[in-house]
Amino acid sequence: MSNDVIINILKIAWPVIVLQLGLQIYALIDLFRKKKTKNLSTPIWALIIIFGEILGPIFYLMFGRAEE
């Protein structure tokens, strides 16, 4: 691939990359601050958040957060 093709792909993909990283950072901070989760343990949720790309943090925020 030429540099122009790579640059065009990055121009299109950067908002998704930023959204993914933002969600992952937010979910990890929330996970380690609360220290209590539903359904799964904290290390398992951390792995889901990190390796689940964009869906991992969304699943944690929807299904993993413990009630306060």
Determine contact, residues 66/34, Cβ cutoff 8 Å. Answer: yes
Total structural domains within the chain: 1
1 domain-assigned: no
Tell me the angle at which helices 3-34 and 42-51 cross, rounded to the nearest 10 degrees. Answer: 170
Round the average pLDDT of the chain to a whole number and report it: 92
- Residue-range definition of the domain harbouring residue 58: 16-64
Question: For residue 68, what pLDDT band results from cuts at 50, 70 and 90?
Answer: low
8 domain-assigned: no
Q: Per-residue pLDDT averaged across 2-10, rounded? A: 89
Q: What is the pLDDT of residues 39-59, one digit of tens each?
A: 899 999 999 999 998 999 999
11 domain-assigned: no
Beta bridge partners of 65: 37
* 58: Cβ contacts below 8 Å, ≥ 6 apart: 23
